[in-house]
C-alpha cells in the first residue's frame, strides 16, 4: 500500500506541487518513518521468536506495525480534510494523533502481553488464553522488569502528544492574514487616495446619439406555468422566468430600478460579465446594501460592451438564482452585426438562457422543444446563456456553424465547424452563428432529443429530424485552439501580481462556523484573504482544481485572458472570458489588466460552492466600502 501511495504521489506531482505538497511534506515522511521502524523492529523480533503465531508477536512489533497503519490513515485524512497548503497546525495535529494512537496501542498491547505472560506462568487461564498463549510466551525483555521503562516512555510520549496537539489547536485559532498582495506591496505611484465604492457609480447620460433604456423590475414570488403545463413556485423579476430581457444598443444608457416586493432573502441585480463601475455591481455587503422587501435600488450604466450577458440576484444566490431571479442582458452594436447582404430585419437572433427548475430544463421561456420556421439563407445567431450551476453540453445538428463570441466577447477569425459538442460553463455564454440551411437543423442540449430548438426552412413541414442524430460521440471543441491569434493589450509574462487560487474541499470556517467547506487555499469565505491590486497592474491568476468537482471560476468587473490550461498555451483566438470551467485536476493560467477600480467578488459560479466558502474578494488599493464590515467580520455578504 505504501508503494501504491508513492506511485500516486509521483503521478500527481507531474501536474504540480499543489497536488502533492501535504503528501510529500507530511503524509509520506510520517508513513516512511513509522514503516521503516516497523520493518526493522518487527523483522528483528519475529526472527528472534521464530514463530508466525499472532499471539507470539512481540509487543514492539505490534505497536510499530499498527502505528504505521495510523500514519497511513492520518496522511489520507490530512489530504481529504486539510489539503493545500499544509499548515503547522495540521502537521502538529496529525503528528499528535499518530503519537496518541501509538501510545494507546502500546498500553493495550502491554496489558494483553502481561496477561499472556501471566497465563504462561501457570496462573488460572481460560480456554481462550490457552489458545493464544500456548505456543511461545513473550520474550523476557517485553514483560516484568521493563514496566518502569515503559512507564517513562509512555509518560514522556504522552507529554509530547499533548504538547503537539495543544500547539496545533492553538494555531487553528491564530488569525490568518487578511490580505495577499501577490508579489509585493502596492506601487505607491499607482495607489489612489481613498475612494468609496458608493462613489464609483455609472454615467448619468448616454453616449452622444445613444438612447435611455429604462426598466422597472419587480422582484416577487410567483407561480409560473411552463408551456408543458408544469407549475413552478418561482422567485421572479416581474412575475416571469426568465426575467424581462434587457436590451440596448451600444452607447445607450441602461437604467434599471429594482423593487423588492416580497423576496424574503432580499435581492440585488448583478450584471454578470458586464464590467460596470463597481457601485453598480450588485454585490450585497460590498457594493450596496441588500434590497429588502419594500425597498428599491436604481442601477445605471452605459452600454459600452457589446454582446450576450445576463443578470441575476447576488443575495443568497445559490437559492435566489436557482428559484428564478435571472434574465438576459444583450447589447447590440450600433451597426447591426455584419452579414453580407442581409438586412437586419431578415436575421433571426434568439437569446436562449438555459435554466433547470427541479430537473426540468427551461430554454428561454419554455420547457420541451421550441420550433421556428426560418427561410433558408437567413443569418441566424443563437445566444446561449448557462444560468445553472453545472455545465451544459450544446451541439448544432444539421448545419455547420461558427462560435462568434464567448462570454460576450467576439473571437478572432472563428472557423466553421460541424459535428462538435460545446461545453458551456455555468454562467458562461456562447453566440453561435450560421446561415439557415434548406433542411431542418436543431440545437441539442445535453444530448436530449426532446428539448432544445428546432429550426425548419419555411414551407417545408418535414425532412429528417436532426434532433434525433446521435451526437453523444461528437468530440468537444477546444476553444483554446479555435480561431486565430491576435494582438493582446498587455504583456502577461510581465505581470505585476500573481495570485494562486487552489480549489479543494476541506474543513474550514465558513461564515463563522466550521464546515466541510469548498475551500480556496484551505480557507472558506469570508476568511479567504483579499487579493490586493493597484489600478494599472497586470494581474495573473493560477487556478488549480484539487477536488473532484468542476469549478466555474468567475471574477466580477473584468474579463480575463486565458493564457494556458495544464501548461499548454492557448493557441487560437485570444479567449477573453468572465467564467471558465476548471475541471478536476486542471490548472489554468489567466491574466487581466486592472482597469476597473473597486472591490470585486471573485468566486466559483457553482453557486452552492460559493455559498459553502469558495469565494473571495479582489480589492483595488485605496477602495473602501461602507456597506460591509471590515476584516474578520465580513459576513454581511452572503453569496
Chain residues that interact with Cu ion, rule: CB under 5 A: 551, 604, 606, 609
Helix axes 28-49, 2-13, angle to 10 degrees: 160
> Which residue of 603, 619, 634, 637 would you call a contact of ligand C2O, by CB under 6 A?
603
Smallest distance from ligand C2O to CB 81, Å: 27
Question: Does 556 participate in binding ligand C2O (rule CB under 6 A)?
Answer: yes
Q: Which is nearer to ligand C2O, 381 or 556 (CB)?
A: 556
CA pair distance 639, 628, nearest whole angstrom: 13
Residue 23 or 634 with smaller CB distance to ligand C2O:
634
Whole-number minimum distance, CB 554 to ligand C2O, in Å? 5
Pick the stretch among 133-141, 290-298, 600-608, 629-637 that binds ligand C2O (CB under 6 A).
600-608
Per-residue buried b or exposed e for 90-128, using 16+ beta carbons within 10 Å of the residue's own CB: bbbbbbbbbbbbbbbbbeebbeebbebbbbbeeeebeee
603 binds, among Cu ion, ligand C2O, none (CB under 5 to 8 A by kind): ligand C2O
Binding mask 381-420 for ligand C2O (x = CB under 6 A): ----------------------------------------
- Residue pair 445/393 in contact (Cβ under 8 Å)? The answer is yes
609 binds, among ligand C2O, Cu ion, none (CB under 5 to 8 A by kind): Cu ion
604 binds, among ligand C2O, Cu ion, none (CB under 5 to 8 A by kind): Cu ion
Print the SS3 string covering 96-135: HHHHHHHHHHHHHHHHHHHHHHHHHCCCCCCHHHHHHHCC
| 601 binds, options ligand C2O, Cu ion, none, Cβ within 5 to 8 A by partner type | ligand C2O
Applying CB under 6 A, among 554, 611, 619, 634 the residue interacting with ligand C2O is 554
Minimum distance from residue 275 beta carbon to ligand C2O (Å): 13
The x, y and z cell numbers of residue 246, run together, are 434587457
314 contact choice in ligand C2O, Cu ion, none (CB below 5 to 8 Å, kind-dependent): ligand C2O
Helix count (H) and strand count (E) of the chain?
9, 35
CA–CA dist 364, 385 (Å, integer): 9
Which residue, 45 or 386, has its beta carbon nearer to Cu ion?
Answer: 386
Residue 272 touches which of Cu ion, ligand C2O, none (Cβ within 5-8 Å per kind): ligand C2O
Of the listed pieces 222-230, 377-385, 542-550, 597-605, which binds ligand C2O according to CB under 6 A? 597-605
CB closest to ligand C2O, residue no: 272
44 φ, ψ (degrees, to nearest 5): -65, -50
Shortest separation between residue 579's beta carbon and ligand C2O, angstroms: 7
Q: From CA 312, how far away is CA 324, in angstroms rounded?
A: 9
Contact 452, 361 (CB under 8 A): no
Residue 454: contacted member of Cu ion, ligand C2O, none (CB under 5 to 8 Å, by partner type): none
Answer yes or no whether residue 638 interacts with ligand C2O by CB under 6 A.
Answer: no
The CA distances from residue 419 to 258, 274, 294, 476, in Å, are 43, 31, 51, 9
* Number of neighbours of residue 494 by Cβ within 10 angstroms: 8
- At 374, phi and psi to the nearest 5? -135, 130
Pick the piece of the chain touching ligand C2O (CB under 6 A) from 72-80, 167-175, 581-589, 598-606.
598-606
Q: Are the C-beta atoms of 489 and 498 separated by less than 8 Å? A: no
- Residue 312 site contact among Cu ion, ligand C2O, none (CB < 5 to 8 Å, cut-off depends on kind): ligand C2O
Q: Does 427 bind ligand C2O (CB under 6 A)?
A: yes
Burial group, residue 583, by CB count within 10 angstroms (0-12, 13-18, 19+): middle
212-225 and 253-260: which strand pairing? parallel
- Rounded Cα gap, residues 316 and 190, in angstroms: 35
Tell me how far, at minimum, the Cβ of 139 lies from Cu ion, in Å: 57
Would you call 329 exposed, middle or buried from its count of C-beta atoms within 10 A (0-12, 13-18, 19+)? buried
CB of 628 to ligand C2O, least distance (A): 15
Rounded Cα distance between 9 and 11, Å, is 5
Is the sign of the CA dihedral 48, 52, 58, 62 positive or negative? positive
- The secondary structure of 449-514 as a DSSP string is EEEEEEEEETT---S--GGGS--TTPPBP-GGGSS-----SS-GGG-SEEEEEEEEEEEEEETTEE
| 611 part of the interface to ligand C2O, by CB under 6 A | no
Size of the site for ligand C2O (CB under 6 A): 10
Asked if 637 is part of the footprint of ligand C2O (rule: CB under 6 A), the reply reads no
User: What is the SS3 string spanning 352-384?
Assistant: EEEEEECCEEEECCEECCEEEEECCCCEEEEEE
CB 526 within 8 A of CB 179: no
Smaller CB separation from ligand C2O, 79 or 387: 387
Which of Cu ion, ligand C2O, none lies near 441, with the C-beta cut-off 5 to 8 A by kind?
none
> Per CB under 6 A, does 314 bind ligand C2O?
yes
Indicate whether 355 belongs to the interface with ligand C2O (CB under 6 A).
Answer: no
312 binds ligand C2O (CB under 6 A): yes
Q: Of 322, 525, 605, 619, which one interacts with ligand C2O (CB under 6 A)?
A: 605
Q: Please say which residue, 259 or 556, places its beta carbon nearer to ligand C2O.
A: 556
Report the residue number, 21 or 545, with the smaller CB distance to Cu ion. 545
Q: Which does 505 bind (CB under 5 to 8 A by kind): Cu ion, ligand C2O, none?
A: none
Contacted entry of Cu ion, ligand C2O, none for residue 427, CB cut-off 5 to 8 Å set by kind: ligand C2O
- The entry of ligand C2O, Cu ion, none near residue 606 (CB within 5 to 8 angstroms by kind) is Cu ion
CB of 599 to ligand C2O, least distance (A): 13
Q: What is the 3-state secondary structure (H, E, C) of 482-498?
A: CCCCCCCCCCHHHCCEE
Kind and range of the H or E run holding 445 = strand 441-445
Sites of contact with ligand C2O (CB under 6 A): 270, 272, 312, 314, 427, 554, 556, 601, 603, 605
Amino acid at each position: 500500500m505504501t508503494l501504491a501511495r508513492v506511485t500516486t504521489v509521483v503521478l500527481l506531482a507531474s501536474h504540480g506541487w499543489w497536488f502533492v505538497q501535504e503528501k510529500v511534506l507530511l503524509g509520506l515522511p510520517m508513513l516512511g518513518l513509522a514503516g521503516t521502524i516497523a520493518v526493522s523492529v518487527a523483522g528483528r523480533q519475529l526472527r528472534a521468536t521464530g514463530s508466525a503465531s499472532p499471539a507470539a508477536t512481540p509487543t514492539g512489533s505490534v505497536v510499530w506495525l499498527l502505528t504505521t497503519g495510523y500514519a497511513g490513515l492520518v496522511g489520507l485524512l490530512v489530504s481529504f480534510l486539510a489539503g493545500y497548503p499544509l499548515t503547522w497546525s495540521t502537521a502538529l495535529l496529525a503528528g499528535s494523533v499518530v503519537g496518541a494512537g501509538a501510545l494507546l496501542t502500546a498500553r493495550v498491547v502491554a496489558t494483553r502481553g502481561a496477561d499472556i505472560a501471566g497465563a504462561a506462568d501457570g496462573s488460572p487461564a481460560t480456554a481462550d488464553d490457552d489458545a493464544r498463549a500456548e505456543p511461545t510466551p513473550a520474550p523476557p525483555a517485553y514483560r516484568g522488569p521493563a514496566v518502569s521503562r515503559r512507564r517513562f516512555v509512555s509518560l514522556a510520549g504522552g507529554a509530547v502528544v499533548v504538547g503537539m496537539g495543544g500547539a496545533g489547536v492553538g494555531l487553528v485559532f491564530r488569525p490568518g492574514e487578511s490580505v495577499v498582495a501577490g508579489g509585493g506591496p502596492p506601487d505607491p505611484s499607482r495607489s489612489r487616495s481613498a475612494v468609496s465604492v458608493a462613489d464609483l457609480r455609472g454615467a448619468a447620460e448616454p453616449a452622444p446619439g445613444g438612447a435611455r433604456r429604462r426598466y422597472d423590475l419587480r422582484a416577487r414570488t410567483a407561480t409560473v406555468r411552463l408551456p408543458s403545463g408544469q407549475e413552478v413556485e418561482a422567485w421572479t423579476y416581474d412575475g416571469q422566468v426568465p426575467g424581462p430581457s434587457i436590451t440596448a444598443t451600444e452607447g445607450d444608457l441602461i437604467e434599471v430600478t429594482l423593487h423588492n416586493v416580497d423576496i424574503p432573502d432580499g435581492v440585488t441585480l448583478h450584471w454578470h460579465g458586464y464590467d460596470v463601475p463597481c457601485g453598480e455591481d450588485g454585490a450585497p455587503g460590498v457594493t450596496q446594501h441588500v434590497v429588502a422587501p419594500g425597498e428599491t435600488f436604481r442601477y445605471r450604466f452605459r452600454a459600452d460592451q457589446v454582446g450576450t450577458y445576463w443578470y441575476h440576484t447576488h443575495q443568497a444566490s445559490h437559492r435566489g438564482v436557482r428559484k428564478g431571479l435571472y434574465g438576459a442582458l444583450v447589447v447590440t452594436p450600433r451597426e447591426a452585426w455584419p452579414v453580407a447582404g442581409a438586412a437586419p430585419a431578415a436575421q433571426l437572433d434568439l437569446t436562449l438562457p438555459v435554466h433547470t427548475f427541479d430537473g426540468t430544463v427551461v430554454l428561454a421561456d419554455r420547457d420541451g422543444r421550441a420550433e421556428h420556421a426560418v427561410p433558408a439563407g437567413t443569418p441566424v445567431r443563437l445566444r446561449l446563456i448557462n444560468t445553472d450551476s453545472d455545465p451544459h453540453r450544446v451541439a448544432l445538428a444539421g448545419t455547420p456553424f461558427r462560435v462568434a463570441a464567448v462570454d460576450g466577447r467576439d473571437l478572432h477569425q472563428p472557423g466553421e465547424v460541424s459535428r462538435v459538442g460545446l461545453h458551456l460553463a455555468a454562467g458562461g455564454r456562447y453566440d453561435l452563428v450560421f446561415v439557415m440551411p434548406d433542411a431542418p437543423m436543431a440545437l441539442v442540449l445535453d444530448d436530449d432529443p426532446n428539448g432544445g430548438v428546432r429550426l425548419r426552412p419555411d414551407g417545408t413541414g418535414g425532412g429528417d429530424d436532426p434532433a434525433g442524430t446521435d451526437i453523444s460521440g461528437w468530440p468537444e471543441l477546444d476553444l483554446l485552439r479555435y480561431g486565430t491569434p491576435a494582438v493582446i493589450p498587455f504583456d502577461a509574462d510581465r505581470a505585476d501580481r500573481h495570485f494562486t487560487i487552489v480549489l479543494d474541499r476541506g474543513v474550514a470556517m465558513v461564515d463563522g462556523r466550521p464546515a466541510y467547506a469548498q475551500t480556496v487555499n484551505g480557507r472558506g469565505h469570508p476568511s479567504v484573504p483579499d487579493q490586493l491590486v493597484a489600478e494599472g497592474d497586470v494581474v495573473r491568476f493560477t487556478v488549480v482544481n484539487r477536488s473532484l468537482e468542476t469549478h466555474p471560476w468567475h471574477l466580477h468587473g473584468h474579463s480575463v485572458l486565458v493564457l494556458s490550461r495544464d501548461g499548454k498555451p492557448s493557441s487560437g483566438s485570444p479567449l477573453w472570458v468572465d467564467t471558465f470551467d476548471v475541471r478536476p485536476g486542471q490548472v489554468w493560467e489567466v491574466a487581466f489588466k486592472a482597469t476597473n477600480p473597486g472591490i470585486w467578488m471573485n468566486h466559483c459560479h457553482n453557486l452552492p460552492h460559493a455559498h459553502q466558502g469558495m469565494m473571495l474578494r479582489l480589492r483595488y488599493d485605496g477602495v473602501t466600502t461602507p456597506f460591509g464590515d471590515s476584516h474578520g467580520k465580513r459576513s454581511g455578504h452572503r453569496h
